Amino acid sequence: MQSKKRKLRWHQTGLARGLGVGILILLLALPAALPNMLTPSSIILTSTPIDDLARPLPVVPAGGTPILPTGTYFHRTGIFSLPKLQDWELPAQTPEELVSPVGNSTRMRAGTMFSNSNAASVIHAFVETDSQVKFASLDDLDLYYTPEILNGAWAHYSSWRETGRQRQNDQFVINFELKFEESTYLGRQISRLQQIGEQTWLMVMRLVVPSNNPELLERLQFILLPQYRMWTESLSTPLEWNTISTSGYLIRYPLDWRRADGSVGRPYTLQGKMGAQSVTLVTMGQPGTLLTGEESARAWVTQNVSRSEIKTVQTVNRANAFGEGYFISYTSSDADGNARSGAVMLLNGADGAVYSANLQIAGSNRDLLAESGLSADIQEIFESFTVTAFAQENRAVPTATPTTTP
């Protein structure tokens, strides 16, 4: 068996590649309207409404409003995640927000909003970038957030006023007093800059609480902000692709691929096409099977893929994986002797599990990691594959027994 061990190098693809128009403006209970852009290059600040079911303002429970994290929420693009809190729910009609480049626009945005009607509270998180808007530092944000810009953030309120702004480490924080009908709320906008390659992303979280419950504002920020993060691996794929993100790992796949099987804690089986050839992708986590080196990675293939012959081994690193991972190509055949080409990426999780993305192409007998072995779409799928080790609360226990590919 020939082994070519080298660092994996991925091509860089533009996020606008193949993107369609996909704009979902997220609402809670009030009519929506996009605020006007001040200039052609201005980032639009979508308004943050309040759930109108909680007026007059609710009485604050003894001991404060309960905040109970129940897992990790991933945006359907896989671009960002934050803690999911009990009683803060996504709206049923338009749960998520997505803006893709269209025409001359270079703006990309993904967002979501949660509301707790009993606590009269809103969590609004979004990330966005525009190559025509340059933010180099928090000083730029201080200049950018003019009254005209901020008016777009609170367009659904009867009135608003800024009550102060400050820098908190790498975050730019602006506090507000908000009026709606006869009720008064406290708002806070927390912004930070995230540099990813040549793009600068603006990460924003807005929190709204009743004016009689200021402690809730502080506690929400304390719990949410440390785990509000972007997943750079997802940016290798078109925004509208589908995502698996609830089983200890994240991977994205094309819209026209079909999810044939799988659920939280069990292997997922995806089926699609690469040209005229049928492609199957199986993803899963296996506890207690950490890879200790190339030989254990080779052993994983021979134990999990029947009649396999390893062709190429590459090393791969992910910021969230535990140590070095491996990308391995192989050939195999099914029970009837029909040839298959395969490639599997294996990553160690800090939770003691091995996470795998195993792709096979029917009717092929070539080395997929040789030059020009993988199509651009297939490469993007593997680029997006990463471990989400901190999100262990999302997972049921993965299947303990490795699944053998016939």
Residue 400 domain-assigned (yes or no): no
Question: How does residue 21 score in pLDDT terms, banded at 50, 70 and 90?
Answer: very low
pLDDT number for residue 352: 87
Q: What is the pLDDT of residues 163-210, one digit of tens each?
A: 999 999 999 999 999 998 889 999 999 999 999 888 899 999 999 999
Residue 30 domain-assigned (yes or no): no
Question: How does residue 389 score in pLDDT terms, banded at 50, 70 and 90?
Answer: low
Q: Show which of 184, 204, 234 is a domain's final residue.
A: 234
Residue 178 domain-assigned (yes or no): yes
Domain that holds residue 314: 238-394
Q: How many domains does the chain have?
A: 2
pLDDT number for residue 49: 74
Pairing of strands 249-253, 242-244: antiparallel
Average of per-residue pLDDT values in the chain: 83
pLDDT number for residue 43: 54
Distance CA 252, CA 233 (A): 9
Distance CA 143, CA 272 (A): 48
Residue 188 domain-assigned (yes or no): yes
pLDDT number for residue 223: 97
Of 44, 57, 50, 54, the closest CA to residue 156 belongs to 50
Regarding whether 327 and 216 lie in a shared domain, the answer is: no
Q: What is the pLDDT of residues 305-337, one digit of tens each?
A: 999 999 999 999 988 888 889 999 999 988 888
Regarding whether 254 and 301 lie in a shared domain, the answer is: yes
Q: Which residue has the higher pLDDT, 360 or 395?
A: 360
Residue 25 domain-assigned (yes or no): no
pLDDT number for residue 316: 95
Residue 325 domain-assigned (yes or no): yes
Regarding whether 354 and 243 lie in a shared domain, the answer is: yes
Strand partners, 172: 167, 191
Q: Are 388 and 249 in contact (CB under 8 A)?
A: yes
pLDDT number for residue 288: 85
Regarding whether 324 and 229 lie in a shared domain, the answer is: no
pLDDT number for residue 265: 81
The tokens for 8 are 């994996």
Q: Show which of 199, 234, 269 is a domain's final residue.
A: 234
Distance of CA 310 to the CA centre of its chain: 32
Q: What is the mean pLDDT of residues 226-237?
A: 94
pLDDT number for residue 197: 85
Q: Show which of 180, 199, 234 is a domain's final residue.
A: 234
Q: b/e for 239-277, b at 16 or more Cβ within 10 A?
A: bbbbbbbbbbbbbbbbeebeeeebeebebbbbebeeeee
Above 80 in pLDDT, residue 215? Answer: yes
Q: Which amino acid is at 7?
A: K
In this structure, of 295-304, 366-375, 378-387, the range with the lowest mean pLDDT score is: 366-375
SS3 per-residue string spanning the chain: CCCCCCECCCCCCCCCCCCCCCCCCCCCCCCCCCCCCCCCCCCCCCCCCCCCCCCCCCCCCCCCCCCCEEEEEECCCCCEEEEEECCCECCCCCCEEEECCCCCCCEEEEEEEEEECCCCEEEEEEEEEECCCCCCCHHHHHHHCCHHHHHHHCCCCCEEEEEEEEEECCEEEEEEEEEECCEEEEEEEEEEEEEECCEEEEEEEEEEEECCCHHHHHHHHHHHHHHCEECHHHHHCCCCCEEECCCCEEEEECCCCEEEECCCCCCEEEEEEECCEEEEEEEEEEECCCCCCHHHHHHHHHHHECCCEEEEEEEECCCCCCCCEEEEEEEEECCCCCEEEEEEEEEECCCCEEEEEEEEEECCCCCCCCCCCCCHHHHHHHHHCEECHHHHHHCCCCCCCCCCEC
Of 1, 2, 20, the closest CA to residue 240 belongs to 20
In this structure, of 23-37, 334-348, 359-373, 386-400, the range with the lowest mean pLDDT score is: 23-37
CATH code (residue 127): 3.40.1000.10
Gyration radius (Cα) of the chain, Å: 23
Question: How does residue 121 score in pLDDT terms, banded at 50, 70 and 90?
Answer: very high
What residues have CB less than 8 Å from 120, skipping those under 6 apart? 50, 51, 54, 55, 57, 58, 183, 185, 209, 210
Residue 54 domain-assigned (yes or no): no
Regarding whether 197 and 255 lie in a shared domain, the answer is: no
Regarding whether 181 and 168 lie in a shared domain, the answer is: yes
Q: Which residue has the higher pLDDT, 265 or 115?
A: 115
Is omega for the bond preceding 101 within 30 degrees of 0, making it cis?
no
Regarding whether 214 and 280 lie in a shared domain, the answer is: no
Q: What is the mean pLDDT of residues 369-393?
A: 82
Q: What is the mean pLDDT of residues 111-127?
A: 94
Regarding whether 246 and 230 lie in a shared domain, the answer is: no
Q: What is the mean pLDDT of residues 76-90?
A: 95
Regarding whether 221 and 271 lie in a shared domain, the answer is: no
pLDDT number for residue 131: 84
Reading phi first (left if > 0) and then psi (alpha if -120 to 50, else beta), residue 224 is in alpha
Q: What is the mean pLDDT of residues 274-287?
A: 91
Q: Are 48 and 206 in contact (CB under 8 A)?
A: yes
Distance CA 261, CA 338 (A): 23
Regarding whether 106 and 227 lie in a shared domain, the answer is: yes
Residue 205 domain-assigned (yes or no): yes
Q: Which residue has the higher pLDDT, 206 or 3?
A: 206
Regarding whether 116 and 167 lie in a shared domain, the answer is: yes
Regarding whether 228 and 90 lie in a shared domain, the answer is: yes
Of all residues in the chain, what percent carry a pLDDT higher than 90? 61
pLDDT number for residue 7: 36
Above 80 in pLDDT, residue 54? Answer: no
Q: Which residue has the higher pLDDT, 103 or 151?
A: 151
Above 70 in pLDDT, residue 10? Answer: no
